Every structure is written in structure tokens, then in C-alpha cells.
Amino acid sequence: MSKEEVIGVRFKKLGEISYYLASHQYNMNDLVVAKTKNGRMLGKVYYTNRLMKAADLPDQLLEVQSATDGDIRLYEQNIDAAKIAQRQIANCISELKLGMKLLQVEYTLDKERLIVYFTAEGRVDFRELLKVLASKFHLRIELRQVGPRDEAKVVGGLGPCGRVLCCSSFLGDFLPVSIKMAKNQSLSLNPIKISGLCGRLLCCLQYEDEFYETAKRAFPDWGQRVTTQEGTGRVEGMNIIQGIVKIRFDKAPVLVDYAIEEIEFKSK
């Protein structure tokens, strides 16, 4: 199976990682310039030179160039220009009374394109806004609607755990999260308790799901009948971390804790 020597590049602090052909040896955090779906952008090397299976890579791999001092100055100028543009665009949105929330604005490195990220509860007719922005900035304008998770990533904040949001501090890609993960961990299914600031299920539900999914195989199901030295009862609770099963006996309507090793039941 063929392999390619590639590097992984991030164009935003916690953005997705894109792979490019390695023209020479790169170091972590080296600044490079590469072509992206948005245009030419400046990014940082996140994964240094490594061999990867061609099947795991994009069909068309491009090369990167080491960023020059001129590229870096242009990038810094674009950041300042984007801040000014964001204020101007926010004013335009307010004047047109559009139901959209402006999140972020960025220029491509060559300043041929201005990308505007926003959120909205529904569809927004922004044709008039595009006309206004095109006449104001005289370049290609792209309006991109993003979801609530992307909004939380940009805005930031503190999660219910009291720590800075995972998505805005270290989490690069959003991993799939399901209500099943909360059930596996015996968490309350109250939406308020298992949802983040974005209103979606907490990303951290995914972190320990593999452990719970594996560990619960050694436990009986909720409601399953089990046998102990004191008699037969029904499972009405468990603590997988502590290895405890809560049993309600047929003869006495009380919950009793037993270690998983102390009960007998039909395995799954």
C-alpha cells in the first residue's frame, strides 16, 4: 500500500487539521503558506513530517511553502483590517435589520476574499447585504452560516464544570455525541444538566464513553434479576466506577449495595 510523506497544518488556533505534501523537513509550529478551500492562508505546522497511507489522505495533495517575513507582516495587517471590517459589517447588518449574529471576519492572505461567519435561527435573505459589502470592500465576499457549537468555539466561556469550554481551549474537531452516552454513564437525562452553553449535548460525554461501554459489559442490565447470598432481587441502580450494583429484594423493598463480584446473573 502506497504512502505519502505529509505534514498536518492548522490555519486557526483550534481549527481542523489539513494535510499537505512535505517538501522538506518541518518543525512543530513552523509557519507555512498553503492553498485552502478559502484561498491562500497562513498556518502552523501541527504534525511534523510523517508517512501516512494514501487511502487516509485527500485525493489531491498540495504542497506548502515556508512563510516569509512578508507573509507574516501581511497576515498581521489582515488581522487588524478584519477587526475594522467586522465593525463595519456589524453596522450594515444592524441597518438592514437582518436576523443574524456576526461572529467572525477573516481575510485570505492575498486579501482577495473576505469571509464572514454568522449564526441565525433560520434562513436569512442576505442578498442586499452582499451588494452593500461588495460595493464597500471591492472584493469577493463569502457569508457562511455556522452552528451553535461553532459559535461557542469562537465566543468561548465557562462550562458547567467551571472550566473554560473544551471547544475554545483545546478541542479541535467536534466529535459525535449522543444521548446514549449519557445513559451509559447513568447521568440525569435532564437537558439542562447534560447540555453545554451551545445548547447541544456536552462534548465531554464522549471522553469516557469507551470506558463505560466496555465496563458495563461486566454488569447486569437495569431491571435484570440477579442472585445473591441473601436471595433474589432486581437491579435498580449501579455505580460502574465503584463496581457497585443496587438491588431491591423480592422480600424486602429496600435497596442494598453489592459489589459486582458478589452477585450472580445471566451474562449478556
User: Does 256 have pLDDT greater than 90?
Assistant: no
The pLDDT value given to residue 1 = 62
* Torsion angle, alpha carbons of 38, 43, 49, 55, to 10: -20
The pLDDT value given to residue 94 = 93
> What confidence tens digit (pLDDT) does each residue in 136-185 have?
999 999 999 988 998 898 888 888 888 999 988 888 888 899 999 998 88
Do the strands 31-36 and 225-228 form a parallel or antiparallel pair, or are they unpaired?
Answer: unpaired
Do the strands 225-228 and 39-53 form a parallel or antiparallel pair, or are they unpaired?
Answer: unpaired
Q: What is the mean pLDDT of residues 20-46?
A: 91
- The residue ranking higher by pLDDT, 60 or 99, is 99
Separation between Cα atoms, residue 183 and residue 177, nearest integer Å: 12
Per DSSP, the residues of 130-166 read: HHHHHHHH-SEEEEEE--HHHHHHHH--B-TTSSBPH
- Is residue 115 very low, low, confident or very high in pLDDT (cuts 50, 70, 90)? very high
pTM: 0.76
> What confidence tens digit (pLDDT) does each residue in 175-218 have?
899 999 998 888 888 998 999 988 999 999 999 899 998 888 88
The overall average pLDDT reported for the chain is 88
User: Does 122 have pLDDT greater than 70?
Assistant: yes
Tell the burial category of 214 from Cβ atoms under 10 Å away from its Cβ (0-12, 13-18, 19+).
exposed
Separation between Cα atoms, residue 37 and residue 40, nearest integer Å: 8
What distances in angstroms separate CA 33 from CA 40, 72, 107, 114, one per listed residue?
A: 7, 10, 14, 17
Residue whose C-alpha is closest to residue 264's, from 225, 233, 237, 226: 226
- Is residue 56 very low, low, confident or very high in pLDDT (cuts 50, 70, 90)? confident
